[in-house]
């Protein structure tokens, strides 16, 4: 078998057997399954019965005697505040309110309760508001109008395509959630793959095994086999996540429903997810090979790699700003800058979509960066591969890369 393939197979097998790799790969579907399972365990089969709450009121204006049932809240009239207070103390009502005689001119309603609260619970204030509205409008407008005044707006937005047809992707938070989670996982996977590469090279340098390997294979075969082997393992991880997403989504929307029913995978998400993983991985691998080459051990290489490995997370730090300022030019910059592109593209796919020219530029810049990083790293790899002990200074590295 070709020696590069032997190294590829060795690195791939070695990586997919790592505990950290297995945990990171399986934790995503496992956590989602556990979440769905817990939801099913704790959620009852039928909607819960809500206990009726009785609250009292004193009508000093007169005429507030209709619509005394507001959902699960029952309103009971008392003649005086004294009667209502006695009922509150006896526990006959959970609270009461007084409609003062000057209510129509002031709008003030006095509420009395035994509980200490930060503010009036929304359900109570809505019930009181609807009770007052219904009574004031009774006999003046039809009941349907009363309902409409109480709930005047149920906004349904439909996104159209440029040809005027209803778009398949309707946007909203349901469209964002999966790309955002996948963006985070992609960043973790890219970071982990880079660290594995640096660790592997560092260990081989530290144990001097690299000399035995280089007496059997060329530096090019060694580097290519390693990069592809680790990349294939990373790809397996990403494919497991991507493949499990639609399945988990179906399971979640059929068992939990609600918000999960609205979750959609943006168009091209799966394809772009894989493309950006592969390109992102190649870029990080090329950089990591360079770092691995100039570092005497994995311990010294990893802090150096953290500098660029952290950049992959930058779009996630600013993700909340994407919802507020989706058209800010900073997002175009993050989409085109090769180290932030993989995660930025995933996030933007779910929120606003990405213009074709931006995607094309982003992909082109990534490919060029990979080629550039690879050329420099292979050079550094050849020069510093057998360097043990102290890491060379940046000045020395730049000088030796220039002179070759």
Partner 1 sequence: MLAAEVSHIVKSFADKVAVDNLSFSVAQGEMFGLIGPNGAGKTTTIRMMMDILKPDSGDVTILGEKLNEATKNRLGYLPEERGLYKKLKVLDSIVYLASLKGMDRRSATDKANELLNQTGMSASNNKKIEELSRGMGQIIQFIVTIIHDPQLLVLDEPFAGLDPVNTELLKGMLAELRNQGKAVILSTHQMNQVEELCDRILMINNGQDVLYGDLNEIKARYRGNSVLLDFVGELGEVPGVTGKRTHKGYTELILDGKTTPQQVLAHLMGRGIVINRFEVATPSLNEIFLKEVGKKS
Q: What residues from 134 to 163 belong to the interface with partner 1 (CB under 8 A)? A: none
Give whichever of 3 and 77 is closer to partner 1, judged by the CB atom: 3
Distance CA 62, CA 96 (A): 16
Residues 187-246 that bind partner 1 (CB under 8 A): 203, 206-209, 211-218
User: Does residue 16 belong to the site contacting partner 1 (CB under 8 A)?
Assistant: no
Task: Give the contact letters, 325-354, x = binds to partner 1 (CB under 8 A), - = no.
Answer: ------------------------------
DSSP E strands, 79-226: 95-99, 110-113
Stretch that binds partner 1, among 2-10, 117-125, 167-175, 365-373 (CB under 8 A): 2-10
Report residue 192 as tokens.
Answer: 């982990």
Residue with Cβ nearer partner 1 (198 or 283): 198
Q: What are phi and psi of 328, to 5 degrees?
A: -65, 140
Binding mask 380-399 for partner 1 (x = CB under 8 A): ------x-------------
User: Interface with partner 1 includes 401 (CB under 8 A)?
Assistant: no
Min CB(302)–partner 1 separation in Å? 18
* Residue 1 is a binding residue for partner 1 (CB under 8 A): yes
Counting Cα atoms < 13 Å in the Cβ hemisphere of 321 gives 12
| Minimum CB–partner distance for residue 225 and partner 1 (Å) | 10
Neighbour count for residue 395 (Cβ, 10 Å): 8
Find the shortest distance in angstroms from Cβ 215 to partner 1. 4
In the complex, what is the shortest distance from the CB of residue 207 to partner 1, in angstroms, rounded to a whole number? 2
Distance (Å, whole) CA 288 – CA 226 = 11
Q: State how far the Cα of 391 lies from the Cα of 346, in Å rounded to an integer.
A: 36
Residue 53's closest CA among 68, 70, 74, 37?
74
Contacts of 212 (CB under 8 A, 6+ apart): none
3-class DSSP state for residue 18? coil
With CA atoms as reference, report the closest residue to 113 among 96, 131, 90, 98.
96
Q: How far is the CB of 335 from partner 1 (least distance, A)?
A: 40
Q: Rounded to a whole number, what is the largest CA-CA distance in the chain?
A: 101
Say whether residue 6 binds partner 1 (CB under 8 A): yes
Nearer to partner 1, 101 or 207 (CB): 207
Size of the site for partner 1 (CB under 8 A): 20
Provide the token pair at 242: 């991507």
Task: Give contact residues for partner 1 (rule: CB under 8 A).
Answer: 1, 3, 6-7, 10, 14, 203, 206-209, 211-218, 386
């Amino acid at each position: 078998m070709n020696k590069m393939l032997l190294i590829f197979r060795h690195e791939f097998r070695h990586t997919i057997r790592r505990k950290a790799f297995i945990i990171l790969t399986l934790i995503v579907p496992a956590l989602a399954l556990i979440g769905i399972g817990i939801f099913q365990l704790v959620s009852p089969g039928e909607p819960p019965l809500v206990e009726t709450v009785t609250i009292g009121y004193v009508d000093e204006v007169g005429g507030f005697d209709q619509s005394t049932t507001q959902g699960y809240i029952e309103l009971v009239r008392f003649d005086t505040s004294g009667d209502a207070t006695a009922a509150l103390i006896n526990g006959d009502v959970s609270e009461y309110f007084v409609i003062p005689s000057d209510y129509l001119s002031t709008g003030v309603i006095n509420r009395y309760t035994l509980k200490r609260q930060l503010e009036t619970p929304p359900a109570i204030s809505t019930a009181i508001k609807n009770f007052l509205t219904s009574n004031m409008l009774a006999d003046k407008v039809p009941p349907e109008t009363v309902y409409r005044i109480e709930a005047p707006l149920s906004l349904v937005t439909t996104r159209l395509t440029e040809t005027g047809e209803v778009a398949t992707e309707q946007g909203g938070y349901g469209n964002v959630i999966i790309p955002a989670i996948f963006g985070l996982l992609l960043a973790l996977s890219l970071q982990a793959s880079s660290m594995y590469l640096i660790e592997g090279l560092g260990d081989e340098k530290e144990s001097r095994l690299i000399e035995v390997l280089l007496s059997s294979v060329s530096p090019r075969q060694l580097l290519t086999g390693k990069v592809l082997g680790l990349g294939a393992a990373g790809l397996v991880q990403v494919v497991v996540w991507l493949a499990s997403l639609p399945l988990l989504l179906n399971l979640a929307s059929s068992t939990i429903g609600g918000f999960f029913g609205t979750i959609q995978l943006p168009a091209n998400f799966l394809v772009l997810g894989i493309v950006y993983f592969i390109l992102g991985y190649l870029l990080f691998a090329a950089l990591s090979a360079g770092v691995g080459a100039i570092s005497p051990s994995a311990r010294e290489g990893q802090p150096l790699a953290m500098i660029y490995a952290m950049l992959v997370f930058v779009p996630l730090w600013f993700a909340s700003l994407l919802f507020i300022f989706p058209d800010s030019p900073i997002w175009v910059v993050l989409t085109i800058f090769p180290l932030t592109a993989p995660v930025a593209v995933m996030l933007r796919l779910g929120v606003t979509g990405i213009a074709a020219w931006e995607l094309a530029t982003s992909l082109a810049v990534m490919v060029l960066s990979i080629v550039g990083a690879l050329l420099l790293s292979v050079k550094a790899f050849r020069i510093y591969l057998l360097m043990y002990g102290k890491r060379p200074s940046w000045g020395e590295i730049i000088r030796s890369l220039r002179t070759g």
